[in-house]
Structure 1
Amino acid sequence: MDLDKYKKAWDNQPEETNKVSKVDIYKMAHSKSSSIVKWIFIIGILELAFWAGINIFFVGESYTEVYKQLHLNSIVKISVYIHYFVIAIFLYFFYQNYKSISVSDSTKTLIHKILKTRKTVKYYVYFNLAYMVLANVFVMCLIFSDLDLLIEYYHNQGISTPDNKDQLLTSLIIAMVVLLSFMVLILWLFYKVIYGILLRKLNSNYKELAKLEELN
Structure 2
Amino acid sequence: MDALERYKKAWDNQPDETLKVSKLDIYRMAHSKSSSIVKWIFIIGILELLFWGGLNIFFAGSSYSDLYESLHLQKLVNATIYIHYFVIVLFLVGFYKNYKSISISENTKGLIKKILNTRRVVKYYVYFNLVYAILTNIIVVLLIFSDLDTLIDYYNTHGITVNQSKDQLLISLIISMVVVLTLLFFTMWLFYKLLYGSLLKKLNKNYEELIKINDEE
Give TM class, smaller chain. Answer: over 0.9
Map Cα deviations across residues 107-148 of structure 1 (whole Å, 9 max, x no partner). Answer: 111111101101111110111010111000000111111111
**Runs of 4+ deviating beyond 6 Å:** none
Counterparts of 1:187 and 1:21, CA distance in 2:
41
Write the distance in 2 (CA, Å) between the matches of 1:9 and 1:163. 73
**2:134–2:181 Cα contact (<8 Å) kept:** yes
In 2, Cα distance between equivalents of 1:148 and 1:202: 53
The answer to whether the 8 A contact 2:67-2:151 is kept is no
Paired position in structure 2 for 1:59: 59
Task: Kindly provide the amino acid, as one letter, of the partner of residue 158 in structure 1.
Answer: G
> Unaligned regions of 5+ residues in structure 2, if any?
none
Equivalences for residues 165-180 of structure 1 within 5 A = 165-180=166-181
CA RMSD after TM alignment: 1.2
- Are 1:117 and 2:122 matched, yes or no? no
Q: Cα offset for 1:105?
A: 2.7
Match status 1:154 vs 2:175: no
Contact 1:41 1:95 in 2 (8 A): yes
Mapping of residues 188-207 of structure 1, within 5 Å:
188-207=189-208
Equivalent in the alignment of 1:39: 40
Q: Is the 8 A contact 2:105 2:111 kept in 1?
A: no
C-alpha distance after superposition, 1:19-76 (max 9, x if no partner): 11111110100111111011100000001001111210x2222022221122211110
Structure 1: tracts of 5 or more residues without a match: none
Aligned residue pairs total 215
Structure-2 separation of matches of 1:182 and 1:66: 23
Q: Name which of structure 1's ranges 12-21 and 117-126 shifts more when overlaid on structure 2.
A: 12-21
Identity of aligned residues (%): 63
Question: In 2, distance between residues paired with 1:168 and 1:105?
Answer: 63
Structure 1 pair 59–10 and aligned structure 2 pair: CA distance change class (3 A) = same
Is 10-19 or 96-105 further displaced after alignment?
96-105
The DSSP-based 3-state class of the residue aligned with 1:41 is helix
Distance 1:181 1:171 in 2: 15
Secondary structure at the aligned position of 1:61 is classed as coil
Residue in structure 2 matched with residue 91 of structure 1 by the alignment:
92
Which residue is 1:3 aligned to?
4
* AA in 1 matched with 2:59: V
Distance in 2 (CA, whole Å) between partners of 1:165 and 1:59 is: 28
- Distance of 2:83 and 2:105 partners within structure 1: 38
Q: Is the 8 A contact 1:125 1:191 kept in 2?
A: yes
Normalising by structure 1, we get a TM-score of: 0.95
Structure 1 residue 163: Cα displacement: 4.0
The aligned residue for residue 183 of structure 1 is 184
User: What amino acid does structure 2 have at the position aligned with 1:60?
Assistant: A
Work out the CA distance in 1 between the residues paired with 2:68 and 2:133.
17
Question: Residues of 1 paired with 2:142 and 2:22: CA distance?
Answer: 61
The Cα shift of 1:2 comes to 3.6
Deviation, structure 1 residue 104: 4.5
- The residue that corresponds to 2:14 in the other structure is 13
- Asked if 2 retains the 8 angstrom alpha-carbon contact of 1:48 and 1:87, the reply is yes
